[in-house]
Structure 1
Amino acid sequence: MKTHVSTLARAGTACWGRAYRLLLAMLVAPTAVMMAPAVASGISGDIVKIGILNDQSGTYADLAGPGSVEAARMAIEEMGGTVAGKKIELVAGNHQNRADIGAGIARSWFDQEGVDAIADFSNSSVGFAVQALAGERGKVTLVAAASPGFTGKACTATSAQWVYNSHTNGYGLAKVLTEQGNKSWFLLTVDYAFGHAFASDIRRAVQDGGGTVAGEVRHPLNTADMSSFLLQAQASKASIIALASAGSDMTTAIKQAGEFGITPGQALAAPAVFLTDIHGMGLQAAQGLQFVTAFYWNRTPETRAWSQKFFARHGAMPTMTQAGVYSAVLHYLRAVKAAGTDDGKAVMAKMREMPVRDIFAADGQLRPDGQMVHDMYLVRVKSPQASKEPWDYYDILQTIPGEQIFKPLSDSECPLVKH
């Protein structure tokens, strides 16, 4: 009898224990749901909102500007205009190449208009200002500007650099050309931080490749007469004259080099060239120029088909920035769909997990430091006689694998990377 009572007592205690645990679970479960972040499993505000922030009317308007907006719109249309059952909305802003204006627009978009991600920038100072704001708010930035700092000390958990940087287009360009036997270089450098950074990368690559830099001359920003600088470059007899500049300084140097008969005797190379630069200069002036690009519209049947659709809407073939913005926005939206949320960190985790496969990148990969690694292309501008149709400007000389032209992750200064 004693044993029987003891057994019943233990059974009763066990039943009560199970009942207590069930009751506790029922009481705790609603609390856990209420404590979970609202955006962890859904779309905030029932809409996915993307901003394109760039120069819409100034120096960078042709290479990015309204064309980037159109490229982003094409990505949204490819997704059917919705993601995770919610509407996708696009807004655009003109930062006028001023960091304060860009930051002000971004702050308003984030805090008042519910923008989830901002793409493009095309200006590093604006990009840094917005990337910092976005990082504080857990919002996504998709950067198409050149500074390596975006994936360096300024990197955030929700930022990515998509198209190119000064390492790929400065160091990478000089490395490839030096390995091809161009051992003697002369640097024609615009005298401010942008030019100095590119010149430093070029010099290091030439020396690493066993070449020599015969000399360097620096010129002021927006120099209209390059004659004295070009004559010094010509006198060096270097096989490559590297133009560590961009925009009007670069195009002025190229045009005047042709006028003075410097080319084709000495080849020109430049780190920051866009399709619209060549279109503006014309093939007669630009022929023979060599540089690295992330995209060329006529590279494959797929890039050609997409670019013709873009041309029908924009009236110009896409630059590497515009094609890169399309790619970045499309990959972002695919990641939102896969994650089932627009929470910045969750989406970025999916973006890193998924390969980038589209007309811009055949098999790109987003690294932990935010660098999207993809193949790049060494190109040379065609002569007028070799061009077969409008916008047929480049010969692709070499495909450079992404792991060879981007700085290794082991060299990254991003605080998020554990070495």
Structure 2
Amino acid sequence: MKTAVVQTSTVEEQAIKAKKAAKTLGILSTEEKNQALLMVADALEAEFEAIIDANKIDLENGEEKGFEPAFMDRLALNKERIYSFAEGLREVAELPDPIGDVLSAWTLENGLKVEEVRVPLGVIGMIYEARPNVTADAAGLALKSGNAIVLKGGSSALNSNHAIVKIIHNALEKTAIPKDSVQFIASIDREATQQLFTMKEHIDVLIPRGGASLINAVVQNATVPVLETGVGNCHIYIDHEANVEKAINVLINAKTDRPAVCNAAETLIVHEAWLNENKETLAVAFKKNGITIHGDETAAALLPDVQPATESDWANEYLSLDIAVKTVSNLEEAINHIDQYGTKHSEAIITENSATAKKFMQLVDAAALYHNASTRFTDGGALGFGAEIGISTQKLHARGPMGLPALTTRKYIMSGDGQVR
């Protein structure tokens, strides 16, 4: 494995540095933080070639190891992608700063004034896989929300992540934000990751972002509180009252726009009456876009070239141009299927019946629900958050795309004039 990265300090030493830096970062002005983000964005664009050179090493290592195409797609960087996450930092700089927001305020009968104020979490531990863009996105969101961050990317993107963090550090040295606010664990030793799981005295929250095995490992082993992101077994349900053109366009976009991401559709649930009437149109769309169908018996009888679906297909996050097709006879069957196999990420219904859509929205348990729109919009940038640090599929603290407010907590500030109880 080719690498140009050397770990120069222990994980605990890095966490301690981050915690110290968080004290300074947490009291900086919005203007100081915004200026720093803009300088980082400019630096990433100016030095994009250094990132691409490092990324080439990771891609070569990936090819030698035989990584899947979907994995390689998430790993690959080019000028356009680097400029895109630099632009994401500029968007974050333009967003309102949540720190210091007074969420509520009141005065007690004794004259004691109470304010509920939004404050940084402190130090965020970020564990993620082959997505080098997460390095810039997570750092930008953490810094804008007044948090230091300790980054632990996957070994497959080691060189890319190191190059990005080096540029971030060089840019931060010219700003009010301490460069120690962004720490990168360059070790590929599993013990380094395990150590990050358990440093409750230095890390305030862990955010895992990646496949099911990574997320489960963090949730099951961490003693640090976890903000859980989830895999995306996303469904498109085409109701019998769906507009044909609308249904096909939404389905194909959700499946093919970028199949290797978590908000891509993995299962089509289709009303059997709609499928029977529009099977030729759907078959043409699948074939035109190179989609492989894994279908139940009804789908296999109506569509060509269907591979018989097994139990694993209903739960599979393909991250490819494969799709599972489940036929149902009513809305309740569709919802039951989602309840059983969904990951509470993103679910969509295509129908012209507003009552049916409303019932779907009320009964389906997911972080993001869509009526007549693609699941691909479950993204911080697409929904106006700027960059995102991940998509939470849990229900406590934060849910859905996590932007700046999700990286804060609250503090109660009391102001009195000698009151005692």
Length-normalised TM-score, structure 2 = 0.30
* Bigger Rg over Cα: 1
